[in-house]
Structure 1
Amino acid sequence: MTGMGRPEKPVNRTVPARAKLAEFLRERKARAGRTYEQMSETAGGMPSKATFERATSGSSVPSWETVSEFINMTITEEEVSTSALGSAYTCGLDLWIRARRATRAPYYVHKAPDPNLISTEADLLRDLRRQHVWAGYPTPGEMERMSGIGELPSSTTRRVIKGEILPVDPRQTIAFLKACYVVRPVDLAPWLFAAARAHAYLGAASKWDSAHQELLARIEKSQDQEEAAPAPSAS
């Protein structure tokens, strides 16, 4: 039910991926037992009641900020007690990316690109562009805001997306990939290894090799720390 007590309109199912995101948000709201008005008031009016309502209509894809705040406003005691909140954000992000991919991508990519198949600079540029589409086609401005200051200028990102240039160095490549939701070191490592292969014939692979080795060292250190962590109590 809405804040006025009226039944909600049916979800717009024109785009199935968009409808699934709307249904996910409606289910969270129903479990939390909250109205859109209450959610907006708790959020300090941003997003507004109308913005929360539109997010569950299925007629458009809300911003990730709106989806994230929607999840914040519908956290249940069960999620807190079972440490399940992380999975709610993961699920929400996955549904949001799928909805964006279905409505904003300029062409359809059937699956995520595999960096292990990259051999040349042309391969690398093609698959960076495909990863951008797979991530739901974030705009250059969105990608710049997701990165550190000066790390990924929107003008550079725009040229990469158009297929005109490659990122200039490993740091910019990592920033581009993270803005396309390739975030974990274990997922970034194959891309850096691929970039080293792609640049090898130019004799410019050393900085890419170094970045790849640094990333592998971070992964190994993280794994060692996990193994060394004490096991949870059986009580």
Structure 2
Amino acid sequence: MTTIGRPEKPVDRTVPARAKLADFLRSRKAAAGLTYEQMAKLPQTKQAPSKATLERAAAGTTVPSWDTVETFVFMTVTKDEELSGRLRTVLHRSRDLWIQARRATRAPYYVHKAPDPTLISSRADLSRDLRRQHVWAGYPTPGEMARMSGPGELPVSTTRRIIAGLALPVDPRQTVAFLKACYVLHHADLEAWLHAAGRVDKYDTQWCRAHQFMARQISAERAKTSPGNSSSTAVLHLAREGEQLAA
């Protein structure tokens, strides 16, 4: 479909990461051959963003909500993406660009990289690095984090206390929920955090079980991608270490 719309203002390049997200969204709109007005009128499973919201999302002046970015992507899916199954890759790319834009506009200037959970050796370290991960994720609000989690997993009041450094997650389930809401999504990354939390808590039984479960998840994932290749020695060693300390 070829359409003609009024020329857009240039992308605001004051914040490079924000501009990259805007460029990405505009390129998708151009590939789909749609105007913002047409996009706003497309049938959606949920309420579509307005024309003005879509324009702002691709202007580079602000960071749109993730819901807006995700809907923008679905509105501009091409035939090639439908046939090749590339949509999941596109969504991952859009989420990464969105997180980078949020981080660039919200994180303190001294935050240059994600925290390394292997360096955690105390409850104070764990609290600090959970807060740093929250910063690295672009400061998602407690409400956003609660919506990303299962029912009751991450109450807003509890999340506020964790972010403020006044509390730690109460158990492995809440720890994983907090981390996933801070966009730690891969099992291997979550496993490193669980191992750190378990180490801090002297390998209480609940942490050992959670860590072992995550290790099995990693093993299953690797078995799918590399038939005949078992999970890494390091992961199995960590699981055994937890079992021994919990005994």
Taking structure 1 as the reference length, what is the TM-score of the superposition? 0.90
Q: Distance in 1 between matches of 2:107 and 2:143?
A: 16
1:196 aligns with 2:198: yes
Q: Distance in 2 between matches of 1:107 and 1:145?
A: 28
Which residue is 2:32 aligned to?
A: 32
Cα shift at 1:107: 5.5
Which residues in structure 2 correspond to 1:40-79 (within 5 Å)? 40-44=40-44, 46-79=48-81
Give unmatched runs, 5+ long, in structure 1.
Answer: 230-235
Q: Distance in 2 between matches of 1:4 and 1:85?
A: 26
Cα shift at 1:11: 0.8
Cα shift at 1:15: 1.1
**Which amino acid counterpart does residue 74 of structure 1 have in structure 2?**
T
**Which amino acid counterpart does residue 123 of structure 2 have in structure 1?**
E
Which residue is 2:244 aligned to?
A: none
Q: Distance in 2 between matches of 1:111 and 1:217?
A: 28
**Which amino acid counterpart does residue 79 of structure 1 have in structure 2?**
E
**Aligned pairs, number:** 224
Does the 8 Å contact 1:67/1:92 carry over to 2?
Answer: yes
**SS in structure 2 opposite 1:42?**
coil
**SS in structure 2 opposite 1:47?**
coil
- Residue of structure 1 aligned with 2:89, choices 76, 87, 103: 87
Does the 8 Å contact 1:115/1:191 carry over to 2?
Answer: yes
Does the 8 Å contact 1:151/1:171 carry over to 2?
Answer: yes
Cα shift at 1:165: 0.9
Which residue is 1:170 aligned to?
A: 172
**Which amino acid counterpart does residue 37 of structure 1 have in structure 2?**
E
Does the 8 Å contact 1:43/1:73 carry over to 2?
Answer: no
Does the 8 Å contact 2:5/2:35 carry over to 1?
Answer: no
**SS in structure 1 opposite 2:173?**
helix
Q: Distance in 2 between matches of 1:81 and 1:220?
A: 31
Cα shift at 1:106: 4.7
Give unmatched runs, 5+ long, in structure 2.
Answer: 229-247
Q: Distance in 2 between matches of 1:107 and 1:164?
A: 23
Does the 8 Å contact 1:36/1:53 carry over to 2?
Answer: yes
Which residue is 2:209 aligned to?
A: 210
Residues 165-217 of structure 1: CA deviation (Å, up to 9, x unaligned): 111110100000010111222221000000011112xxx63221221011111
**SS in structure 1 opposite 2:132?**
helix
Which residues in structure 2 correspond to 1:213-228 (within 5 Å)? 213-227=212-226
Does the 8 Å contact 1:61/1:99 carry over to 2?
Answer: yes
Residues 68-95 of structure 1: CA deviation (Å, up to 9, x unaligned): 0000011111222222222211111011
- Residue of structure 2 aligned with 1:109, choices 111, 117, 122: 111
Which residue is 2:240 aligned to?
A: none
Q: Which runs of 4+ in 1 moved over 3 A?
A: 225-229
Q: Distance in 2 between matches of 1:4 and 1:11?
A: 19
Q: Distance in 1 between matches of 2:151 and 2:193?
A: 23
Q: Distance in 2 between matches of 1:135 and 1:31?
A: 29
Q: Distance in 1 between matches of 2:86 and 2:64?
A: 23
Which residue is 2:18 aligned to?
A: 18
**SS in structure 1 opposite 2:29?**
helix
Which residue is 2:231 aligned to?
A: none
Residues 99-119 of structure 1: CA deviation (Å, up to 9, x unaligned): 111112255410011111111
- Residue of structure 1 aligned with 2:102, choices 82, 100, 103: 100
Which residue is 1:160 aligned to?
A: 162
